[in-house]
Structure 1
Amino acid sequence: MTGSSRARRNVMVFATLLAIPEIAQATDDVAFSADPSINAGYANNPFLEQGSGRGSGYVQARIDPEVKFINELTTITVAGMDTYKQYFQHYGSTNDIGAYVDYAGKPSTRLRTHAKLSYDNSIIGQNEFTTGSPDTGLSSAPVTSGSDISLIGTRDRRQQLQAEGGLVYTLSQHTTLTTTAYYVHARYSHLTLGDYDGFGDTTGISRQVAERVQLGVQGSFAYYTYKAGFGHTSIYSPQASFSVGLTSYWKFDGAVGASFVDNSVSGSTTTFTGNINICRNTPRSDFCMTARRAALPTGSGQIQNELLIGTNYSYKITPLSTVTLNANYTQNSAIQSFITGPSKYLRGSVGYDRRVTERVHFTLEARYANIYGTSVHRSADYGAQAGISVKIGRSQ
């Protein structure tokens, strides 16, 4: 971690700590939780590096503390993540950290507001999944960064600071206006010519045309600049949006359209973009499948088309036991890219969670990952881990 990056992180943490006492005085309830866990496992090629014989056992410790300040009109969440992993051979240790402050408010019956400041510092390409169903719809967090497939295997580290804010305003009984703006600051430890800054906004209007059907239009603008001599890029994306409640359990939504990409060095191009999500949520199971195509910045030096197809599923076998399945396929194709590398990434996992006591859980997970689109030989990553997690405090 560079000195400037460390300073930015420390400023963010210090500002957050200063704000906590003032926030606490203005809240009706405070909820604290933390989920420390320890795991042991084996990975055949955890960073998908070149060559073979890259397998290693490891132990991993993780903690995710969270504090929520809650009153009638607002919820403020301060959270962090720290994952430390020690490998028995080849790699030494790794440490990934993250933190965010999130505000959600309802100033009036017609207006909902949201703001978030987040920081992430992690190695690119680790075969880790985030549990839970993907957010969908206009009010979801903006996608501001690509998956950096071309940098997988380099063990480069991306440090990203992001600020976002938005509102949802009810214009009438059936019409809603939504807008979300963001700023992103991304830096890389090794390939610094991929460092970039960007900002953008998505504004849309939707109208309920039937009991379970909403239709709308939205427009997005994004502007990215690279530190190296790759110029600046503007992206304009008009799209039609929809949301359909197929049944009380099934929901189908998304947005489709085009992106007009203009780079100050390489010129202009047009590409199809959009996202489609179908989800089923019941008291016993959750399922989501998503497909997304977007023009996004990457650490390879410029904007790329990214296609992502993914699914996640969880099923409660018994009141104490849950199984999860996750899989996704990602493909990058160059719009304006000055660095070549692998362009396809496939990964999947199967997990099992057993509640041993009210607060103690036993977890088991098997994983697979591989990258394609390059002539360089590298072994797939596969492995498994088992561990214990503890629920501390309470969630609200």
Structure 2
Amino acid sequence: MTVSCGRTRAEAGVRPDRPSVTELRLSAFAAHRGAEFPLGPVSLFAGPSGSGKSSALRAYEALARLGGGAELAEVFPDPAACVPERARPDAQRRRGFRIGCTADGPEGPVRLDVAVQAEPELRIVGERLTVGGLTLLETALRDPGRRVVQAAWHTAGLTPVTRGPLPDDRLGTALLPLRVAGRTDGQCQVIAAAEQMVVALRSVFACDPLPRSMRTAPPLGAGRLLRGCGNLAEVLLRTRAECGRRHGLLIDAVRAGCAGPVHDVLAETVTGVTGVTGVTSVTGVTGLTGVPGGAGGAVRALLDRGDGLRTPLGRLGDGELRYLALALVLLTGPGVLDVDPAGEVPAALQTLTVLADGFDRDLDVRQRDRLVQLAVRMGERGHIRLVGAVSDASWAAGLGGVTVVDLKP
């Protein structure tokens, strides 16, 4: 593995105000062993098929979901696939995997490492949260017959460590703010470090636009973009009405990445989906969030060519559709994307991380370069970070604000 990166705020000695994940560790996960991947505002995992790009993004997403409080079985429906292929079971026929990350922020670099048993039963068997070499939380499986782990967290009071049981199917770090009293300086440090890690992990949007699903007219729904972007037209209906400035930026991006002239990107309701009849323009409509699916029919999106011609998105090529969807993702935020942000934390203190597997799939050079430039620009503002997987990133090596992780099979 080789890594190249542009100068980041952390490298310049500036402590980030918004917590963000700056390193992903795959100690033993799928094809990875002893791997440590630095992450910047824009990070690209590059390598041929089978080199572990997708599994790295899958591990990141798993940590994010655990940080949001999800149960282990929901996060790892096929845990055996996460175990390194040549890993042998121990005397009790146990096999598992280990993942972790570092989240930088006001508390400094906070490290989280998690050991998961995949066989014979799925459970968290060890977890460690540390800051500057100080262990703030440590858990271990003491009794295999009980569905709990023994936890010990930093107190720094009359009793240096507090002990207690935690469930073995949830991330202990995500539970700490509810379990630690915060009466001593040590307990307050534990809570602050745990909250920094959770905030850094939770706002994640895993995105893989599927052109086939974007060619149909989706029903009106909650107006939040789904993982495959099949409801792209519905979200365009909302964003065009709610934020003219960002919609203008989207139009500029579409002009740069789609063939032919582009005057505007429109969304229209369709009362009869078959044949796309009964079209009604909804320019200027607001308050669409929460509209029940189907209540207002379906929605289709079109490119206004500026000369009376409107091209339905269904006529665009796969690359154009993926480009348009990714540009929209980079220009929006948690309120528009189907993510689980930390609702108790102000949006100004959160950073959305977009995970894009196959980021360059179907894109031409112009589209790819434009999207990376857009991601860098949004990353500089601190609102969005991008972690993508590409087949080759030699073109991005040395670009300011871009971290390239070159994986070898």
| Fold shared by both chains (TM-score > 0.5) | no
Q: What is the TM-score of this pair, normalised by structure 1?
A: 0.33
Q: Give 1 or 2 for the bigger CA radius of gyration.
A: 2
Q: What is the TM-score of this pair, normalised by structure 2?
A: 0.33
Which one has the bigger helix percentage? Answer: 2
